[in-house]
Structure 1
Amino acid sequence: MLAWFGLPDDAPEGEANRILARLVEDIHSSGAHLAGAVQRNTDLGADCACDMELLVIGEEDRPVRISQSLGNGSSGCRLDTGALEIAAARVEARMAGAELLIVPKFGRQEAIGRGFVSVISRAVADDLPVLLHVPRQQRTAFEDFSGGMAEELMVAHLADWCRDRLSQSHG
């Protein structure tokens, strides 16, 4: 069970992260056993790029900074791919007994088979429901990865989808 959501191009920066963070908070408060991570961006002002960190569910006190400071004038990708792999490994280590997996997004690293791909694949193989955000730019790669087996959800239906999966795991 693999489900994803997208956002319109004019959605505020970081909106998917906020949606998933609220969803995790709501579901976690119901006592469900979640695995996964949510991304938190720290805004450094209009003239600076944000710092990005992943909060592994159950280890929120140990965030993984996944952005690099490249210095003034740099234009390269700021993602620290090694840190992303560390976060993915920490999530995978916490999947035993989980009822639902939340992945921040299917991004560029996942599109090339890295990042959270092995975590998502393991969850799907283990019949663990997975929910993630897929940015517009990665939808073709995600479609290739999922083989058309993923369910697209509207944002308004995310909580219901999660509750339905959780009730099935208890039923």
Structure 2
Amino acid sequence: MKPAICLVTYDRGQPPDAILAEVVRRLTGSAVRVGGLLQSDDGTAAPGATLFLQDIGSGRRVRIFEERGPAARGCRLASYGLAEAAAWLDAAIETRPEVVFVNRFGREEAAGRGLLSGIATAVVAGLPLVVPLDRTLLTAWDGFAGDVGARLPPNPDGIEAWCRARTVASTFVSGCEEALEGVKGDAPARGA
């Protein structure tokens, strides 16, 4: 079975964080079980803004950028924050939500680190997965997963429709599996 992955492709400098938060709000508002992580900033819109990851299920937030002062250069990613969020993602996947959101397939994931393990775990578990992807990292994604997944623009209606189609399909398949389990015990033995 082909993995159900929705890649939300965006241009650098135009992250889809607010759009994904809106989709999650719509889905949870209609009783769809959503898990995973959303990303947000500190609301300043300034260069070097502080970034946070939020666990969708609990609302917990963790800072993923270090505060190093205005003269600091280089990567500001706070590995301790990313590690904490990775544990939240793993816990969310264990609850088998109807849809999993991962805040990004970014440079850390392209290098085989970050939340890559959680992404792989969700795919192996057969959970529908929504992952934003900066277009500059498409080659890295293809190296990880091949040409797998629907590639959608950051449009809330399109992403929501993709999610709803997967939740309906998964509910249908689960119902069929349960019905078949009930029938198996009633079937006459072969040759009887």
TM over 0.5: yes
Distance in 1 (alpha carbons) for counterparts of 2:13 and 2:34? 30
Residue 94 of structure 1 corresponds to which residue in structure 2? 92
Residue 151 of structure 2 corresponds to which residue in structure 1? 152
Question: Cα 1:143–1:45, aligned 2, differ >3 Å: closer, same or farther?
Answer: closer
Distance in 1 (alpha carbons) for counterparts of 2:13 and 2:85? 29
Q: Quick one: percent identity of the two aligned structures? A: 31
Letter in 1 for 2:25: E
Residue 124 of structure 1 corresponds to which residue in structure 2? 123
Residue 81 of structure 1 corresponds to which residue in structure 2? 79
Query: Does the CA-based 8 Å contact 2:41-2:50 persist in structure 1?
Result: yes
Q: Does 1:7 align with 2:38?
A: no
Secondary structure of the 1:31 match is: coil
Query: Does the CA-based 8 Å contact 1:43-1:49 persist in structure 2?
Result: no
Query: Does the CA-based 8 Å contact 1:91-1:119 persist in structure 2?
Result: yes
Distance in 1 (alpha carbons) for counterparts of 2:160 and 2:49? 28
Distance in 2 (alpha carbons) for counterparts of 1:154 and 1:44? 25
TM-score by length of 1: 0.90
Question: What is the deviation of 1:9?
Answer: 4.8
Distance in 2 (alpha carbons) for counterparts of 1:54 and 1:8? 20
Query: For 1:22-41, what aligned pairs fall within 5 Å after superposition?
Result: 22-41=22-41
Letter in 1 for 2:170: S
How many residues are paired up? 166
Residue 161 of structure 1 corresponds to which residue in structure 2? 162
Deviation by residue 1:135-155 (Cα, 9 ceiling, x = unmatched): 022111111111212221233
Determine which structure has more spread, i.e. the larger CA radius of gyration: 2
Query: Does the CA-based 8 Å contact 1:106-1:132 persist in structure 2?
Result: yes
Letter in 2 for 1:128: L
Distance in 1 (alpha carbons) for counterparts of 2:138 and 2:34? 25
Question: Cα 1:68–1:125, aligned 2, differ >3 Å: closer, same or farther?
Answer: same
Deviation by residue 1:57-114 (Cα, 9 ceiling, x = unmatched): 1111x21111101113111111112211210111111222211110111001110111
Residue 112 of structure 1 corresponds to which residue in structure 2? 111
Question: Cα 1:9–1:68, aligned 2, differ >3 Å: closer, same or farther?
Answer: closer
TM-score by length of 2: 0.81
Structure 2 segments unaligned to the other structure (5+ residues): 173-192
Distance in 2 (alpha carbons) for counterparts of 1:159 and 1:80? 31
Letter in 1 for 2:166: R
Structure 1 segments unaligned to the other structure (5+ residues): none
Q: Does 1:43 align with 2:43?
A: yes
Distance in 1 (alpha carbons) for counterparts of 2:136 and 2:126? 27
Query: Does the CA-based 8 Å contact 2:96-2:127 persist in structure 1?
Result: no
Query: Does the CA-based 8 Å contact 2:52-2:63 persist in structure 1?
Result: yes
Query: Does the CA-based 8 Å contact 1:64-1:83 persist in structure 2?
Result: yes
